[in-house]
Structure 1
Amino acid sequence: MTESRAPDATVPLDALATLVVPLGTLADAVRLEGGYFATTYRVTLGDGTRVVVKTAPSDSSRLMTYEKDLIRTEALVYGLAAAHPGLRMPRLLHTDFTRTVLPGDVVVASWLEGVPQSEAGFGSFDDDARAARARRDLGALIGRLANVTGTVFGYPQSPALQAATWRAAFTAIVEALLADAAAWDLDVSADRVRAALAVHGHRLDEVVVPSLVHCDLWPGNLFVDPATGEVVGVIDPERAMWGEPLVDVVGADPMWDGLERPEDAALVGSLDVSSPGPAARLLLYRMWLGLVMTVEGSPRGYTGDWAQWYRTTSHGNLHRALTALEALDLLDAGDPARV
């Protein structure tokens, strides 16, 4: 994240000071830029310790369905990560869900030193030893996340988007996105999306263990050693869900261009991505992420040339995934497991 010295008027210093009272006194606060959802500050305490204070938007009318109470999921995941140091996440230090100090939920976590991969001088799929190391480390991280399991599928903070089966939870999640698209008058080819779920939904039934999925492992959320590419930290798990590890493979490549890269082998590790079931699910998850990214720009008010590029690219990826799923239809139609 880049830094700005202009405090957000909605998060006055006295509120930040109140939020860190259990940890110490506030000496300095710097807003961290780069995110598009929460408001985040680096706070320096009187003893020199740095912590991160993060609060969610308070205007629920501009939140997508799955984004409501999202900061509570970040707190949950950081709590789980305390018992799993291999996840390389910050320590949860304090929470405030009373919405009295600030109108939104608040998480206070330890500060991670390091450089986001997005600022480290190499891309995820560059032909570079550092990029290769980062891909291997990310693949290993996805495997470690998968070893943390839950009891239901879906979003932890949203009972309406949970279910006993992955197919039911994923269907509810997609339907919520389609409802959000309709509310913002966006054309996301809802009929094609529902048809893809009808044809390939049985493939989701092959997933029987709810694994922890970060969902947002793009380079901005990975801290690396810029000299070696080693992944040394992971942040922003507020979008996490209980699902299938393949979701994280998709989340690590959000601007998917449809190409299959040899380098992907390091990212997927031991995960099966070529058998009929996983191959179909991977496309369903690309469809899901295309939906998320196509819809989110409207409630968040994205503007300018970048916003147009983002919208066009996301919409293109949604249709690329749908077209690929439709190409699988004839192959899948004769599968006796399809119901």
Structure 2
Amino acid sequence: MLTKTAVSDEQVVALLAPLGVVRRVAPLSGGLFASVLRADLADGRTVVVKVTGADTSRLLRYEHGVLGTEAAVDRIAHAAGLPVPQVLHLDTTRAHVDGDALVTTFLHGDLWSTLELDEATAAGARRSLGGLMARLHRLARDGDGDRFGYPAPEARLTAATWPDAIAGMVRAALDDAARWGVDLPAGRLVAAVERHHDLLATVTTPRLVHADLWPGNLLLDPVDRTVVGALDAERALWGDPLFELVGADQLGAGAVDADLLAGYREAGGDLGVGDGTPGSGDPDAWRRLRLYRAYFACLLIVEIVPRGYSGDWVAGHVRTARANLQRMLDELDA
């Protein structure tokens, strides 16, 4: 089972010494393999400390180096004025904790996943999220060399073109499946990616994709319930903005939320999927989305084993992910 690194108050004090004197440390709910704490400093600031463990033996390939990815993405997005934490310190020396540590500012707001919103308010929040996505996707990667895919060097999942990046990501997911004894329709998935190479190649500019903008990573304003914070950019990648829809609705297989798309368009963007109903918009956009949904379903199916998930929800979760994978492959074949 994947376990989080234990972090003591004394270790936090040592880690934060370059930033100031620590008055109080408290745990925060965090990700699946990171320890997350809140620290109040003597100068009145509150910071967040995230620590990922040194043991990477139970990570999926794309998860290697995610803390460095989160730091890099937050720096880029914060500089562009997006509502993400500001990076204050990244420590990979492991001198104070048994792992890598990221220190950021503390963002205020109500965690969306903990709220019960009426439909009108929820629709407004989704429209706000669409606007945030459109602003994020204006950020393009500059420079030469490998540009698409997961940016962490440890993952080794970048490529000079989007189809090559997707092919590498799929191969890595299938390798993870074989490693953990998880049965997947590898042949059909690889064939679908190869068959749609030219379609994927129409994506020529690597855009910043958060890839995890679900309510558990979003903060809403306490009054107007618009998105005021986006957290946990550790799974971000450079690629097709359409991929964002998968991370925001990870078990989705049908329509895309119309309010989210409306907010995206209002902010000047267009994802090509029309009003979100399958069959509307650009058929090529829907085919790309189906490929991304199939890939993501593989990740959801495989991660169950190395993470040692348990509970009544697991069987239903896997059934849904496998049904989505089958549906996407069938629709791509059709």
Same fold (TM over 0.5): yes
Stretch of structure 1 that moved more, 254-263 or 169-178: 254-263
Q: Deviations over 1:264-295 (max 9, x none)?
A: 53265322123132111010111111111111
- 1:111 corresponds in structure 2 to 106
* Alignment length (residue pairs): 315
- 1:137 corresponds in structure 2 to 128
- 1:272 corresponds in structure 2 to 272
- 2:149 corresponds in structure 1 to 154
Write the distance in 2 (CA, Å) between the matches of 1:310 and 1:46. 44
Counterparts of residues 1-339 of structure 1 (less than 5 Å): 10-85=6-81, 87-122=82-117, 128-151=119-142, 152-158=147-153, 160-259=156-255, 262-263=258-259, 265-266=261-262, 268-269=264-265, 270-273=270-273, 274-327=281-334
- Conserved 8 A contact 2:5-2:34: no
Write the distance in 1 (CA, Å) between the matches of 2:321 and 2:23. 41
Cα distance change on mapping 1:23 and 1:325 into 2, 3 Å: same
List gaps (5 residues or longer) in structure 1: 1-7, 328-339
Write the distance in 2 (CA, Å) between the matches of 1:297 and 1:226. 34
Q: Which runs of 4+ in 1 moved over 3 A?
A: 259-265
Cα distance change on mapping 1:263 and 1:81 into 2, 3 Å: closer
Q: Which amino acid aligns with 1:49?
A: R
Q: Cα offset for 1:52?
A: 0.4
Q: Deviations over 1:120-179 (max 9, x none)?
A: 213xxx7x2222221221111111111111141011113621111000011101110110
| Partner secondary structure for residue 254 of structure 2 | coil
Cα distance change on mapping 1:264 and 1:148 into 2, 3 Å: closer
List gaps (5 residues or longer) in structure 2: 274-280
Q: Cα offset for 1:18?
A: 1.1
Cα distance change on mapping 1:9 and 1:292 into 2, 3 Å: closer
- TM-score for both structures, normalised by structure 2: 0.89
Write the distance in 1 (CA, Å) between the matches of 2:98 and 2:318. 30
| Partner secondary structure for residue 156 of structure 2 | helix
Stretch of structure 1 that moved more, 268-277 or 189-198: 268-277
Q: Which amino acid aligns with 2:310?
A: T
Q: Deviations over 1:215-250 (max 9, x none)?
A: 000011110125432111111001101001111112
- Conserved 8 A contact 1:117-1:226: no
Percent identity of paired positions between Structure 1 and Structure 2: 43
